[in-house]
Structure 1
Amino acid sequence: MIEIPEAESLSRQITEAVTGKRIAGVVAGLSPHKFAWYHGDPKDYDALLREKTIDTAVARGGMLEIRAGNAVLLFSDGVVLRFHTRDEQRPQKHQLLIEFEDATAISASVQMYGGLWCFKEGEFHNPYYDTARSKPSPLSDEFDKAYFDGLITSSDVQKLSAKAFLATEQRIPGLGNGVLQDILYKARVHPKRKVETLTEGERETLFNSVKSTLKEMTAQGGRDTEKDLFGEP
């Protein structure tokens, strides 16, 4: 499962590996997959992306957003991205293949389910994507103690467990069960503990654990249960 640390790591690797590269061609939907989600007709992806240059790659919660000119590529959890060198054989099965003019490439394959959306800015809306764009990442300075206090003191969350508070309703986009246990363990807060029973000190400790745990995981390239852009854990 791709969560904040993995999405951040992938965005950095994409930035280093393909920023500035010009797209030579795109193949989308080669291997049919019932739970591979596209925006519109995947056959249109080539026309939308061909001859455009990769500009930026950023994490949006647990999603990865890549921009190329006026086009946006968005990958959700469940999509495995791989970088391929010029001499490397391309996978026989994939849901998306982007070839660059220097003969390197990136492939995207869906495991159980996943989104591989390509669209012009403003033409696509997804509640998870829109929420992730509108809220600060826990890795950013905007996600400070005051912001966290606004979340945890809301009347809507007082009856929730600490686990439900952190990992449901997209309160913190990209924070899921994969990183949740480490955060709660380091904060010494039981997953079933009700938010309303947490002291001010415990809430501050939980905030610090969210920040430090995700920062540490991201610095390490994400959890070792997931593989990176180059197929390494």
Structure 2
Amino acid sequence: MTTAAAGAAHGGATGAALTGEGLHREYGRGAAAVRALRGVSVAFAPGTFTAVMGPSGSGKTTLLHCLAGMDRPSRGTVRWGDTEVSGLPERRLADLRRTRVGFVFQAFNLMPAMTVAQNVELPGRLAGHPPERARVREALARVGLAGRERHRPGQLSGGQQQRVAIARALVARPEVLFADEPTGALDRATGHDILDLLRAGVDEDGQTCVMVTHDPVAAGYADRVLLLADGVLVDELVRPTAAQVGERLSRLGG
């Protein structure tokens, strides 16, 4: 990791692609309240790949959703570049989310009645700015699905469906790509192919990728690994091996 990237990792550098400052997320009230995040501050330099890990209930998915604008922190701020998004009205936030960030889910979240091309176009159509067909074809070619535009999700393997989901996330050329357990429903070989795609987006296009995963091997594709426990950021590993990640996770109970 470069010195600039390392500085941004600690929230001290300017020009970060994504930052979260003092993030708290609480569900419920009073004695029954669940504190999913407890003052997490983190920044992500442009063109870096970060894995977020931790035991079940550590707050990693909550952090991802808050950073991606899919959930709002109870306290704290989220910025995409220089734009603070945590306090924006929902409609404005939704518009920005469709154009500036992409999201890949473990369960693919494809519409079964739509073709592959229509699935890729869907977020843009919902935003009132459908992508050009050439851009859709380009995104599908990028993930190895050229010529599959008219297929439906049910005609594809799980790995191919995840590739469609990645193409859908990439078609708007977002600055930041979020991935929530993107290989969790795939076999290991197919999972490696998906991770190669995410890595290529960082290395070749300068994209920023933030991925939640439970798999130390998947985390080994990242430039750094953030470790959470009980809603708190407890450690950071730079360019770790899968063995190093696994050992550190075991000490956290993950």
Alignment TM-score > 0.5, same fold = no
**So what's the TM-score if we normalise by structure 2?**
0.32
TM-score normalised over the length of structure 1: 0.34
